[in-house]
Copies of this chain bind each other. A is one copy, B any other.
């Protein structure tokens, strides 16, 4: 079992300067803790609650910046795709193509992603049971790509609430795919009466600790230097200033869990 690794970065790519600044900070944490970090950012937020929410910088502007981060800092890159037509272009730069939770059963998208040969990270839909991911993983492996990971990001629990069932982590591991725990979206409070989703930042570390003690390959964590003013996921991103201390504690739990 490999030690814990991390997917982290700001919810969406805001600008080249911001992306490079965040990547530099993450690279430093990676070196300090000797922990693998994959840089995560979205070029397009394709399913915002409301039309008026910021959608991001777009594919064409984002790809060169991702390439620059890879080259300058040596961090692998993960980003999410929303359309079969995006897969080939994104896979030329990005290491891990991420399938959004709402889209985890869209066959054409899964096949197009798989056929690039990139690593595929599929987020489990909020409407799926952990054992349902077996069929999702098969859609990718049966398309000739064995490099698939699965991510837990919470399950629908009543209205406007997600719950994380920690039993789902070992259940998903039975697919053979490495299991990632997304501590950012698991504390999201989707929808509600307003025009954006809420979140509970105070529970990010609570759930991350629990998941690592259960045993996972990695943790996904969105982070920002000023979450309260970020264009998306502000309520559930953690300040990058607090990230190193959290990851250090997670490494300690991971060492016991994998002893």
List residues of chain A with CB under 8 Å of any chain B CB.
Answer: 46-51, 55, 82-84, 102-103, 105-108, 125-129, 131-132, 135, 138-139, 142-143, 155-161, 163-167, 169-170, 187, 190-193, 195, 200, 202-203, 206-207, 209-214, 249, 252-253, 256-257
Residues in B neighbouring A138, C-beta threshold 8 A: 50-51
Is A210 a contact of B127 with CB atoms below 8 Å?
no
Please give the distance in Å from A124's CB to the nearest CB on chain B.
11
Residues in B neighbouring A51, C-beta threshold 8 A: 107, 138-139, 142-143
Is A50 a contact of B135 with CB atoms below 8 Å?
yes
Given contacts A107-B55, A191-B129, A249-B256, whether A164 and B161 have CB atoms under 8 Å apart is: no
Is B167 a contact of A47 with CB atoms below 8 Å?
no
Please give the distance in Å from A91's CB to the nearest CB on chain B.
19
Please give the distance in Å from A224's CB to the nearest CB on chain B.
22
> How many angstroms between the C-alpha atoms of A91 and B131 in the bound complex?
38
Given contacts A125-B102, A213-B213, A253-B256, whether A166 and B166 have CB atoms under 8 Å apart is: yes
Is A127 a contact of B126 with CB atoms below 8 Å?
yes
Is B102 a contact of A47 with CB atoms below 8 Å?
no
Is A157 a contact of B163 with CB atoms below 8 Å?
yes
Residue ID in chain B nearest A109 by CB atoms: B46
Residues in B neighbouring A55, C-beta threshold 8 A: 107
Residue ID in chain B nearest A156 by CB atoms: B156
Given contacts A203-B167, A253-B213, whether A157 and B160 have CB atoms under 8 Å apart is: no
Given contacts A50-B138, A157-B157, A166-B206, whether A131 and B253 have CB atoms under 8 Å apart is: no
> How many angstroms between the C-alpha atoms of A103 and B83 in the bound complex?
12
Is B135 a contact of A195 with CB atoms below 8 Å?
yes
Residue ID in chain B nearest A249 by CB atoms: B256
Residue ID in chain B nearest A205 by CB atoms: B214
Residues in B neighbouring A170, C-beta threshold 8 A: 202-203, 206
6 A-B pairs with the lowest CB-CB distances in the bound complex, closest first:
A158-B158, A213-B213, A210-B210, A129-B159, A132-B191, A156-B156
